[in-house]
């Protein structure tokens, strides 16, 4: 599934709830999911880890919907198949 399709799906499913919660509340929820992802990194439970990765990208898409940001367009502008700092793929930055 394309990144923008995933974001659009999140819009269809949850934008009404995301709008009620608002930007600050949704960002707070995203940071909670980030914390849970951090905890799951040390877990032997693979399914739990997959769920936490899923939650972070899902809440990130919800937040992008609230701000009217096209996540795919933004991602490819900054990461256009090469490193923007050194110009190479793979990145050859020395710092």
Per CB under 8 A, residues contacting a copy of itself are: 1-3, 6, 9-10, 12-17, 23-24, 27, 30-31, 34, 37-38, 41, 49-51, 53-58, 60, 63-64, 67, 69, 71-79, 81-83, 89-91, 93
Rounded least distance, CB 75 to a copy of itself, Å: 5
Output the smallest distance, CB 49 to a copy of itself, in A. Answer: 6
Cα–Cα distance between 91 and 67 in angstroms, integer? 31
In degrees and rounded to multiples of 5, residue 93 shows phi and psi of -55, 140
Looking up tokens 């009620």 gives 20
Q: Taking a C-beta distance cutoff of 8 angstroms, is the pair 51, 18 a contact?
A: no
Least distance between a copy of itself and beta carbon 80 (Å): 9
Q: Give the C-alpha separation, 88 to 75, whole Å.
A: 17
């Amino acid at each position: 599934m394309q990144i923008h399709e995933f974001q659009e799906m999140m819009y269809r499913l949850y934008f009404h709830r995301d709008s009620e919660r608002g930007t600050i509340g949704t960002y707070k929820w995203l940071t909670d999911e980030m914390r849970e992802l951090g905890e799951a990194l040390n877990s032997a439970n693979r399914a739990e880890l997959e769920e936490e990765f899923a939650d972070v990208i899902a809440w990130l898409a919800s937040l992008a919907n609230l701000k009217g940001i096209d996540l795919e367009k933004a991602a490819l502008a900054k990461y256009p198949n090469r490193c923007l700092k050194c110009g190479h793929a793979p990145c050859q930055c020395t710092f």
